[in-house]
Amino acid sequence: MSSSGPAPPGTPQVKSLNCPSCGATLTVRSLGYAVTIVCESCHCILDAQDPRLQILQKFKAATDEDPPLIPLGTRGSIRGTAYEAVGFQRRTIHVDGIPYSWHEYVLFNPFKGFRYLTEYNGHWNDVSMLRSLPDVSPGGSSLTYLGETYKRFQTAQAGTSYVLGEFPWQVRQGETAEVSDYISPPRVISSEKTGNEVTWSMGEYMSGRDIWRAFKLPGEPPAPIGVYENQPSPLSANVKIVWSLVALFLALLLALLVASYSMARDEQVFEQSVEFNTNVKSEASFVTDVFELKGHTSNVELTTAAKVNNNWIYLNYALINQDTGHAYNFGREVSYYHGYDEDGSWSEGSTKDTVTVPSVPPGNYYLRVEPESDYNHGTIYYTITLKRDVPQASFFALGVLALLLPAALITWRSLNFEHLRWAESDYGGT
């Protein structure tokens, strides 16, 4: 932002003059403060401080080549102060031969002086001049201003390609300046170097909707495209909130885990050792003695430990309520194979299997067991053990996953937002 700084407050003077080049009427809204005026008709840049409006420059541009989104003369309120749009310029940088242009609006209040708005691809910044110099780090990769650190984002040669209205500095079409942006969203500090003069300004991100509301503009603002350099991430604050809540809930989940393990009955209610002779082709099914499941509706954990050696046994189980006839059917296989080949020793399976039967009401139960295996493989010895109300770690693991998953998703989206931001930087970012 090239500027000589805000003018001292005073009484506004609005005056109509005539362009000395084309004779068109010029409405000067900041007379006494403006340094240059651009005729909208013939694009002559005039010396506003000269009573004869000396022509300083004349450039070729089609009328309405680049109409301002905020028409000059529009009044609005920025942070509680009334301003009038008095000047407009388009500035362009070239990156890898590709031109990128943004727009700057000069706002004027006779008591507050000048203020600026910038717009690029639907992203807006409210800009004012810095009152003190920032502290630039050695190498210039960052700067500090009022205790806040700003990271260097971009440096480029910006050229003024189109001007309109009134300016508090000697504006020229075609003038260039080296501009550097340092960001700490939602703020950006920009330096503009022209010759030996460096000016500093600070911008704060604003949404197009806020601008439209401030100036009571008709219609809808242009939708912002992409992620802008100092656009605040809508997710970064959420990330901190969500992870602090995740920590809280994980602590509560751990407390619940400890409470569950300490309060669960985890009581063995039945155990029976059985022999299954596979050499006999007869009905192998049997029922156990009746046992009582106490307490509230809860799970039953059944463990089958079988002495299988390169063999298998399959057991059809039915846990039957003696009084109601309500049965829980399930089948479990216990198989264990091992051997030795060219790759060395190997083994598969296990001699033990555990299954949890969910939500079994209290009552008197028995098991109907029907073993199966290959014929003529000798006798298989196995033991059936039942336990009541056994804590299940699997649900706590699922609980941890359920808490981490949305937090991870929000974090990923936030990181992606920052990635998109820094993809536009010359310096890559962090």
Q: Of 318, 408, 415, 420, which one interacts with other proteins (CB under 8 A)?
A: 318
> What is the torsion angle, in degrees rounded to the nearest 10, for the CA atoms of residue 420, residue 191, residue 65 and residue 212?
70
Shortest CB 314 distance to other proteins, Å: 5
Residue 389 makes contact with other proteins by CB under 8 A: yes
State the CB neighbour count (10 A cutoff) for residue 283. 7
For other proteins, the closer CB: 271 or 348? 348
Among 138, 296, 344, 428, binds other proteins (CB under 8 A): 296
Q: How far is the CB of 369 from other proteins (least distance, A)?
A: 8
Backbone angles phi, psi at 32, to 5 degrees: 100, -20
User: Within 35-64, which residues bind other proteins (CB under 8 A)?
Assistant: none
Q: How far is CA 152 from CA 106, 112, 200, in A?
A: 25, 30, 14
Residue closer to other proteins, measured from CB, 220 or 341 = 341
| The binder of other proteins chosen from 299, 386, 387, 414 (CB under 8 A) | 299
Using rule CB under 8 A, residue 119 touches other proteins? no
Q: Report the C-alpha dihedral over residues 360, 362, 368, 373, rounded to 10 degrees.
A: 40
Residue 165 binds other proteins, judged by CB under 8 A: no
Contact 201, 1 (CB under 8 A): yes
Give the N- to C-terminal CA distance of the chain in Å, as an integer: 27
**Residue 100 or 366 with smaller CB distance to other proteins:** 366
Q: Measured from the CB atom, is 133 or 259 closer to other proteins?
A: 259
Read off the tokens for 339.
Answer: 């051997």
Please name the residues in contact with 68: beta carbons below 8 A apart, sequence gap of 6 or more: 85, 88, 103, 105, 164
Site for other proteins in 347-386 (CB under 8 A): 348-349, 355-360, 366, 368, 370, 372, 374
Cα-based angle 331, 333, 337 (whole degrees, multiple of 5): 175
The CA distance from 221 to 209, in Å, is: 6
274 binds other proteins (CB under 8 A): no
CB of 320 to other proteins, least distance (A): 5
Please identify which residue in 144, 395, 411, 417 interacts with other proteins, judged by CB under 8 A: 395
Identify each DSSP E strand in 121-245 by its residue range.
123-129, 135-136, 142-145, 148-167, 176-184, 187-194, 197-206
Q: Count residues near other proteins (CB under 8 A).
A: 69
399 binding other proteins? (CB under 8 A): yes
Binding mask 404-423 for other proteins (x = CB under 8 A): --x---x-------------
Cα dist from 111 to 16, 105, 405, whole Å: 21, 18, 54
Give which of 287, 273, 290, 308 is closest to 368, Cα–Cα: 287
Q: What is the 3-state secondary structure (H, E, C) of 207-228?
A: CHHHHHHHHCCCCCCCCCCCCC
286 contacts other proteins (rule: CB under 8 A): yes
Q: Which residues bind to other proteins, rule: CB under 8 A?
A: 238, 241-242, 245-246, 248-249, 252-253, 256, 260, 264, 283, 285-287, 296-300, 310, 312, 314, 316-318, 320, 322, 325-331, 333, 335, 337-339, 341, 346, 348-349, 355-360, 366, 368, 370, 372, 374, 389-392, 394-396, 398-399, 402-403, 406, 410
